[in-house]
Chains A and B, each alone.
Chain A
Amino acid sequence: MSVASAVAEQVLNGLVVGMVYVLLAAGLSIIFGVMDVINFAHGELFALGAYFAFAIAGPLGGAGFWVALVVAPLLVGVVGMGIERLTVKRLYGRDPLYHILLTFGLVLIINDLITSVWGKSAQPFPIPAVLDQPVALFGFNYSLYNYGIIIFGSVLAIATWLLLNRTRFGMIIRAGSEDREMVRNLGINIDRYYTLTFGFGAALAGVAGIVLGAYQNVSPTMGSSVIIPAFVIVVLGGLGSFRGAVVGGLFVGLVQTFARTYAPFLEGLIVFLLMIVVLVVRPKGLFGTNIGAGEHHDGALLHGAGGGVLSSATRAKIGYAAVGVLVVVPFFAELTGVTYSVTLLEDILIWALFALSLDLVLGYAGLVSLGHTLFYGVGAYASVLTLLHFSPSVFVALLVAVVVCAAIAWSVGYLSIRVSGVFFAMITLAFAELFYNAVFKFDFTGGSDGLFGVDVFYGLAGIGIDPREFEIPLGIMTIDGGIVQYYFLLVVVVGSYLLARRLIRAPFGSVLQAIRESEERASFVGYDVTAYKRRAFVVSGGLAGLAGGLFAANNGYVAPSFLHWVNSGEVIVMTVLGGMGTLYGPMIGAGVFVAAEDILSSYIDQWQLVIGVLFVLFVIFVPRGLVSLPQTIAEQPLFDSVVRDRAKVNDPEVERHD
């Protein structure tokens, strides 16, 4: 094969993948453009399309594929409309963050449903025999199915463009994406169009799923593997821009394919690097306009502050009591033999610290960091690398973790905090994914295995405690290295909490909260909003790095999964579950989440489903988090509070910033 035809084949491969991305990103982009909803569940709708088609085509035999290609996307569309009606719709007018949270819950639900119906392993989904043959063109053989994808994808993309630009439906949703209140004022029921739009976007994702499922195979992870690239495409092309989704999709498909063949080292990195460059140079994306997208930051973040019925003195007492309980737990565990509870508590403490760190930016500065696990993971790697190569001291390792993460937070913040809202969320996500993909590539990070076999020393310069040798018999029990590790962790976490509290109560904290309430007003009063946010982000990154470092030091290993985006999602869930904007709320949220996950996963297989459902209900009905529950229960019946929260969100004063 000549060089030219080899390149031509790569181009075709790139276009095939690109077409799948185009369909996926177009739906995502339309849904964002029209409703301001960042649909994390889009990847799962994509997978659902593939599985529906798989289930329909199988029993029907020969013509089954064609039936499935029509019926499955319609079913996914119906599922999409159901999701919009039952869940997404309830959150219009709130900050876009809540849609990220909601759809993150939906990811857990749909993914668990797929696994429980069709199993965990990948399954082959045969393409129809008619298309399963090579075609000789441009001097080489290439599958007819692949040509089919390219043509079919182009036709669908053109049809979508026509729908958006040449029909009444398209005109109304374009108008709605620019000024939905005005569309309502004209006497048009925009809600109906929202439902249809969501269904349409979902159906497009379903088509993409079928096409890719038959190109490769169907598997429960196919959704989570495409969602991040799809986000990258939407951001690259410009949020809400259909043209951007098409150009971005094809471009990313081509770049990925070429990188895989000609520069394997860059595969997985190049797309994120491109996204970061584009966002830094042109934050609105290649084809983004200033109309609509990103401009209106409507709806307030509902924080949990002031939600408690308890006085701060009572809360402080409860806090002391909680720390007291945490102090004595190891003794009881030792006495009763339930040492596992100590391990679980260690996990909770670490996640509590991680959630606390996120809350500093999310709850206090109003910055949605979608890639916070970047700091957790990098902190873990930094501390393990320090322990392996420089010093066995856990103090040194943690210090390095904090410093490295704070430095990274400063640079990421420098690049991204000036672009606000949704873009910040996307850039942080991109950075996290960049590091996630990068650790696979290097030897010093241990590739996909990670690094393990780390021993720690609780001391400096030889003076201190080596947990492996430490043992003090105390009556019927022994105090061992595990106990040292636990108390050290407890001290660090409580210390970090006190530090954060000090920071928030200082003028610095007041300015942050002013910024959260109204960035514009804070800047008019004369505060350098960007500088304050960046400082908060640096502290937050440092603390998250500390959490990651602690986990790695405690467990003696680090793996690429520490940097996986699911961690970022989970820590946001914990923060909101507990009640952001309070320092203790997220820590309670972490405790409840980790404990619930631990307990549920040992009793039922579908624990993700349960957590997902609970979380969706929480986002809709208790957006101020667990810490707001006492007040909710004390003051009025639950129903009433729901109505009140929604009334608050519908407050025209808020909507007017639209």
Chain B
Amino acid sequence: MSDDILLSVRDLVSGYGSTRVLQGIDLDVERGSVVTLIGRNGVGKTTTLRTLLGSVTPTSGSVTFDGKDITHLSPEKTAREGIALVPEERRVFPGLTVRENVEIGRIGGRQDIDKPTVDEIIDEFENLVRHRNSKGANLSGGEQQMLAIARALVSAPDLLMLDEPTEGLAPSIVKQVQRKIKQLNDEGATILLVEQNVQVALDAADYVYILDKGQVVHEGPADEVAASDEILDRYLGVSAAE
């Protein structure tokens, strides 16, 4: 059973300076599943991802990835273990071309595996194909989001972490992002998703963790959470009917 668990987090505590944000998080990500963290603003969703990656240093707790303790690894070492982040606000390199953005993602990540080529990855994204040599800064928000995903995928990560991938995008683009996540999962990718849009989050997820004040206050299969107005109302202030 434990072979199926790719990422396992126990009692993780971290924060900025003297401010504690995470008050002891427990979560597991099964291989091949989509796990979603939801919760109101400021409950520690992004901080969880940042702590997993190592850009925020945990004060206690443990992070085990593929059987290896990665609690105190720096971001670059964590990424080399096979965790790729699609960060909040996308953060594509504005002065680099689409190809270069993907190429730099390919240099990172695990060093002991074969990776897809830059063009193979770009070909999978219909709205990047036409822009191979455009600068990152000249892309639309949706295109930048796709580029950020492509940049992460090219390193053939074992775990893909997406931080609010639909934020600020037009509804039609949100659909595209959703389809992409679904497609990746169908192809076997393991995904940890932080999402503000509850509908998107529940649609995409196999399993859901609801965070509040730096702690997991509820967890369960996505369809169970989606079906429970009480849970949605209590922790998120929304109901599925909305």
Contacts and interface: CB of A to CB of B under 8 A. Distances in A.
A178 interface: yes
B93 A186 contact: no
Interface stretch (A64-72, A166-174, A617-625): A166-174
Contacts of A611: none
Contacts of A174: 93, 95-96
A185 B53 contact: yes
Interface residues on B, range: 20 to 34
A178 B94 contact: yes
Contact of B107 (A168, A184, A648, A651): A168
A289 interface: yes
> Which of B85, B87, B95, B103 has the most A CB atoms < 10 Å from its CB?
B95
Contact of A171 (B55, B74, B75, B96): B96
A95 interface: no
A141 interface: no
B3 to A, nearest CB: 25
B169 interface: no
B80 to A, nearest CB: 4
A172 B87 contact: no
Contacts, number: 82
A649 to B, nearest CB: 11
Interface string A163-191: 00000100110110011011111111110
A653 B16 contact: yes
B95 A181 contact: no
Given A289-B95, A651-B16, A171 B103 contact: yes
A653 B78 CA distance: 20
A495 interface: no
A291 interface: yes
Contact of B87 (A182, A189, A291, A648): A182
B100 A178 contact: no
Contact of A187 (B93, B94, B155): B155
Nearest to A653: B16
Interface in A222-244: none
A297 to B, nearest CB: 18
Interface in A446-465: none
B76 A189 contact: yes
A291 B94 contact: yes
Contacts of B171: none
A652 interface: yes
B109 A186 contact: yes
A187 B242 CA distance: 40
Interface of A: 168, 171-172, 174-175, 178-179, 181-190, 289, 291-292, 648, 651-653
Interface of B: 16-17, 19, 50, 53, 55-56, 74-80, 84-85, 87, 91, 93-96, 100, 103-105, 107-110, 137, 151, 155
Top 7 A-B pairs ranked by shortest CB distance? Answer: A187-B79, A186-B108, A187-B108, A653-B16, A187-B80, A175-B93, A184-B75
24 contacts: A168-B107, A171-B96, A171-B100, A171-B104, A174-B95, A174-B96, A175-B100, A178-B96, A179-B91, A181-B55, A185-B75, A185-B79, A185-B85, A185-B87, A186-B108, A187-B76, A187-B78, A187-B108, A187-B109, A291-B94, A291-B137, A292-B95, A652-B16, A653-B16
